[in-house]
Amino acid sequence: MKPVKIGIIGLGTVGGGTVNVLKRNAEEIARRAGRQIVIARASAKDLSKQRICDTTGIELTTDPYDIINDPEIEIVCELIGGAGAVKDMVLAAIAKHKHVVTANKSLIALHGNEIFAEASKQGVIVAFEAAVAGGIPIIKAIREGLSGNHIEWLAGIINGTGNFILTEMRDKGRDFYDVLKEAQALGYAEADPTFDVEGIDAGHKLTILASIAFGIPLQFDKVYTEGITKITREDVEYAEELGFRIKHLGIARQTAKGIELRVHPTLIPERRLIANVDGVKNAVLVYGDAVGPTLYYGAGAGAEPTASAVVADIIDVVRALTSDPENRVPHLAFQADALHNVPVLPPEQFKTAYYLRLNAEDKPGVLADVTRILAQHHISIDSIIQLKPLDDCALVPVILLTQITLEQEMNAAIAEIEALSTVNGKINRIRLETLG
């Protein structure tokens, strides 16, 4: 059969990796796809820049629209990132009846509803496996492999930078900002690390995972995000002593009242497999009613791990070129007219257990006041641990582990406890999930 010509927009880390994988594995890829796949054109801002890939035989341009407007190119791979001008490029490619493969999580999370609607009108595919968890085929696993299940919840370590920082804090007893500087030096974190350490990047990915798991529209604006900048070395050590590890998790859960979408630091039992995912690795734990828990682990970023997912999408698109649009796997797993607008719950309606650390004066009755306030807000305590007094002061660190409770009640209780004259400063609160 006639080879399929593709164009690649962006020859950075992921674009270069994609070129390498397509060229190196060309014969095996053709055997899988049923046709040869040829990179006809590629674009980059600076054509003189040294690259990680061999661009021999590829027509290069600085204008992405040279690729979009080329009538011979059937698949456009958008590998730039961002959600501004890139959105216009993707919509332009769709308008030209071209299929699109992208690794762009912010594009899908913020504009996916519009993009998929336009793609459906034009009868083309927008594939985005590489947008979540790099080389881990989590989109395909949930959308296809688990399609017979009612997905009850999922939880994922879906940002490698944050996981690297928390791993170093635990293993080497280092402070957050010390490890952050190393992460930036190693290239794991950007000069402005906000997207990674404040949970925005993970929020984009969680938006996508929740949509394909629960059959809801993409709704990034309703994801609760909390970063890891307030996690202290002491909290990491205390969690370890209690049999827990702190991970920056993205959690999506179906409840009777609606769906929880939240990204935040979380204590999880150290015996859980996902608690032992360290460094820059990613992992996603999915619970389906039929299959139970399944765990997906691997490289969440990097040139060729991400390219692995991009190329898999290209192969899927090539296989589907001759199929009727109505018979293809839906973009968001569920048929477009079957997506449900299930309410996404505000943070006050979340239900979880908590780790609380406070500094209290070493006086009789202080803990009684704290437990009384918690009881008034229907919060049950699993355990209370009083630690050694802080150096050169009369304050004693106290750790409380609670049972599952409504966040609204916890917020009110914390405000009252912090107002006690015998409690010094703010309470450090970290949510706790057993993932059982």
Q: How far apart are CA 149 and CA 296, in angstroms?
A: 16
d(CA 89, CA 257): 39
CA-to-CA distance for 134 and 117, rounded, in angstroms? Answer: 25
Residue 205 catalytic? yes
From the list 252, 436, 416, the residue with the least C-alpha distance to 350 is 252
- Residue 295: beta bridge partners? 285
d(CA 323, CA 317) in angstroms, rounded, equals 10
Whole-angstrom Cα distance, residue 81 to residue 244?
35
| Whether 417 contacts 370, CB under 8 Å | yes
Catalytic residue among 205, 247, 257, 426: 205
CA torsion, ordered 85, 86, 87, 90, to nearest 10 deg = 130
State the Cα–Cα distance between residues 329 and 218, nearest whole angstrom: 17
Whole-angstrom distance, CA of residue 100 vs CA of residue 125: 6
Its sign, for the CA torsion 330, 334, 337, 339, is negative
How many Å apart are CA 89 and CA 69, to the nearest integer? 11
**Active site members:** 205
